[in-house]
Structure 1
Amino acid sequence: MKIENMWYRRDKRVWLLWPLSLLFRALSAFRRWLYRSGVKPATKVSACVIVVGNISVGGNGKTPVVIALVEYLKKKGISVGVLSRGYGGNTTHFPHQVQPINGPDEVGDEPKLIAARTHVPVVIDPKRARGASYLADKLHCQVIICDDGLQHYALHRDVELVVMDNRGVGNGHLLPMGPLREGLWRLDTVHGIIINGDVSVLDRQITDHDCPVYGMSLAGTDFVNVKSGDRVGVAEFSQQQNTVALAGIGNPDRFFSQLSSMGLTLSDTYRYPDHHQFAAKDIPLKTVVMTEKDAVKVTSFVHDDCWYYPVDAQLPPPFYAFIDTRLTAAGIDLKEDQL
């Protein structure tokens, strides 16, 4: 059984990892102290920094939130850029601005997807302070949105958002005994929490904090052919027979459940690790449905009957009012929507 499954099934065998979790707790606390005490300074750049992260490992829906924020800020006439670590990419020169010619193997699947969807500067750099400085000073971004990086304290941030899904925090233990990068206390220090899914199913220890909690859903209108770009509406596509689904994301079951709720009858599902590097042998010779994040990695070798389902984050108006308040506090001059 994979360790991730043990975290979310409350498997008692994780207690064998308790000593390592104690060590992780001590090292994390010491690192936070270094920044709080000023021994290690945090870099503040000449732009408003919004971190979209989480306190647990695995995908929770951060990328759609990043894209939604970018699109919202663009409508406000604000110059915005995105900063990512570039996980899964093999680029060695940093900071690196994602270009159309870059493949996901170079820059990572999420940066490639964000750049393609938003058409704003996307910079990857494992040293986020350096990457943020490049976005602010060289690319003149007023707002920088960090895709992940909540625990990267070397970069000062103006807004911290945590994205979680219905899995919650699993067994509630720190790595490697559980999925947490930081304890639940961290939720008392962030500015907002976004729940990807049904807020009501989560324990109050997750949702009962001083900061606002916002529900989010992911929705799309069409399925898109990976090779041709042809689009088919959900209702029509749902009539397909012998359809299979695959996903190399943090929570594949969430994607499969969404497809089923839309009326698709899936004959099989294929689960892969988050950021999985696909090969042609991974693609079944049937009608295949995948996530947009996976689609950007397979365009060169998929067959003609492969489709992806692009989704947008549906966030409530109070969330964007909250963002406006935080941006104003950071000195950003907000304008009326430009589109």
Structure 2
Amino acid sequence: MVDQLWFGHQRPLWAPLLKPLSALFGIIARYRRRQYLNGQTPCYRAPVPVVVVGNIMVGGNGKTPFVIWLVEQLKAQGYRPGVVSRGYGGKSEEYPLLLTQTTSPRIAGDEPVLITRRTNVPVCVDPHRSNAVKRLLQEGIDIVVTDDGMQHYRLDRDLEIVIIDGQRRFGNGHYLPLGPLRESVDRLNSVDMLVNNGGPTEGEEWPMHLVPGQATNLRTGQTCPASMLPAVVAVAGIGHPPRFFATLQQMGVTPVHSQGVNDHQTLSADELDRLAKKGQHLLMTEKDAVKYQGIAQDNWWYLPVEARLPEAAARAVLAKIERLTTNANK
């Protein structure tokens, strides 16, 4: 119902009832932004550059694959990056939480665990991101990348990178709850870099594509082309599950059943087992897989993806970061 309201061509008859709430949300969003720009919002200024990777719309749109790509670019240039996240979907007894390779998604959230396992850099979770940054500084990092946090103005930032859903763009263009926007589209005029995930680019947007790898078994680590798996049941608990199902179709995989679930939703072992029995193999996203590794059956697989951007995009963002570090050392 929400997708129909935000991204559909026909608006439900009750949609106008949400206009006052949407207008109020917009007023608050603009006010918070002005407070930050005027220096009236108390915020933490880190002694190292802070790069925010975010968006102006709710829901997943490829931020985490881009963060992984950016971290790898930074490592290749000799930086010591650390990653900060709010840890949405996780609940820890103590914060800040510095992740290890064995940290559970139940306490840290899906994305931070995935980033930790893929990049092997310090990743810290805290609802107050400034506290996470302070903890990361103890690990000897020299640059911070935040996975989301565009609207978290209590953490000052040096560079803002916005990921745009290239297929859905900004929906109906309205603020929450009438539309999917957390900030106005005009906000894009003030950011440092625009990255378009999987759609035709507009203006100064850099194109990004998520390239799938081989299907990987959750229990054994065995890999094979996804098209070699017969009678696949596809499961996706991401911001926009149809994107995953479309990727499978492009790879020559036609699932016998496709099941989308809410972003960050965790299914029980019994629920997954019942789904798997609809076919021969259960195939899920890598983000989902970090939650189910401990309960996986022999026929459970995941599909890793890798963000790909033009070389010119890598040079552009690294040049911006180099200027930041040069100025910081003066």
Same-fold status (TM-score > 0.5): yes
Listed as ranges, the gaps of 5+ residues in structure 1 are 201-206, 334-339
User: What is the CA-CA distance between 1:332 and the residue it aligns to?
Assistant: 4.9
1:94-109 superposed matches below 5 A: 94-109=95-110
Are the structure 2 counterparts of residues 22 and 262 from structure 1 closer, same or farther at C-alpha, using a change threshold of 3 Å? same
1:41-190 superposed matches below 5 A: 41-136=42-137, 138-165=138-165, 166-190=167-191
Q: Is 1:294–2:321 an aligned residue pair?
A: no
Once residues 237 and 212 of structure 2 are traced to their aligned partners in structure 1, the CA distance between those partners, rounded to angstroms, is 19
| TM-score normalised by the chain length of structure 1 | 0.91
- 1:218 corresponds, among 195, 210, 215, to 210
Once residues 169 and 149 of structure 1 are traced to their aligned partners in structure 2, the CA distance between those partners, rounded to angstroms, is 18
Aligned to 1:336: none
Aligned to 2:312: 318
Amino acid at match of 2:195: I
- 2:260 corresponds, among 241, 257, 271, to 271
List per-residue Cα deviations over 1:201-246 (Å, max 9, x = no partner): xxxxxx33xxx310011113311001111111x2xx3133211101
User: Which of structure 1's runs of 4+ aligned residues deviate more than 6 A?
Assistant: none
Amino acid at match of 2:155: L
List per-residue Cα deviations over 1:180-201 (Å, max 9, x = no partner): 000101110111111111225x
SS in 1 for 2:307: strand
List per-residue Cα deviations over 1:2-45 (Å, max 9, x = no partner): 32332100424322211111111122222222222222232210
SS in 1 for 2:164: strand
Aligned to 1:282: 271
User: What is the CA-CA distance between 1:307 and the residue it aligns to?
Assistant: 0.6
SS in 2 for 1:44: coil
Aligned to 2:5: 6
1:30-45 superposed matches below 5 A: 30-45=31-46
SS in 2 for 1:300: helix
Aligned to 2:325: 331
C-alpha contact 1:84 1:123 (8 A) present in aligned 2: yes
Once residues 53 and 332 of structure 1 are traced to their aligned partners in structure 2, the CA distance between those partners, rounded to angstroms, is 24
Bigger mean CA offset, 91-100 vs 49-58: 91-100
Aligned to 2:251: 262
User: What is the CA-CA distance between 1:247 and the residue it aligns to?
Assistant: 0.2
Are the structure 2 counterparts of residues 118 and 225 from structure 1 closer, same or farther at C-alpha, using a change threshold of 3 Å? same
Give the total of aligned pairs.
319
C-alpha contact 1:222 1:231 (8 A) present in aligned 2: yes
Amino acid at match of 2:43: A
Once residues 209 and 39 of structure 2 are traced to their aligned partners in structure 1, the CA distance between those partners, rounded to angstroms, is 39
User: What is the CA-CA distance between 1:317 and the residue it aligns to?
Assistant: 0.7
Once residues 64 and 5 of structure 2 are traced to their aligned partners in structure 1, the CA distance between those partners, rounded to angstroms, is 26
Percent identity between matched residues is 40
Aligned to 2:28: 27
Amino acid at match of 1:3: V
List per-residue Cα deviations over 1:136-173 (Å, max 9, x = no partner): 3x122111110000111111111111111211111010
Amino acid at match of 1:301: I
SS in 2 for 1:313: strand
1:224-263 superposed matches below 5 A: 224-232=216-224, 234=225, 237-263=226-252
Once residues 118 and 331 of structure 1 are traced to their aligned partners in structure 2, the CA distance between those partners, rounded to angstroms, is 22
Q: Is 1:303–2:297 an aligned residue pair?
A: yes
C-alpha contact 2:30 2:183 (8 A) present in aligned 1: no
C-alpha contact 1:14 1:178 (8 A) present in aligned 2: no
List per-residue Cα deviations over 1:43-77 (Å, max 9, x = no partner): 21011111110000010000000000111111111
Cα-Cα RMSD: 1.4
SS in 1 for 2:291: coil
C-alpha contact 1:7 1:14 (8 A) present in aligned 2: no
Are the structure 2 counterparts of residues 332 and 135 from structure 1 closer, same or farther at C-alpha, using a change threshold of 3 Å? farther
Once residues 332 and 61 of structure 1 are traced to their aligned partners in structure 2, the CA distance between those partners, rounded to angstroms, is 29
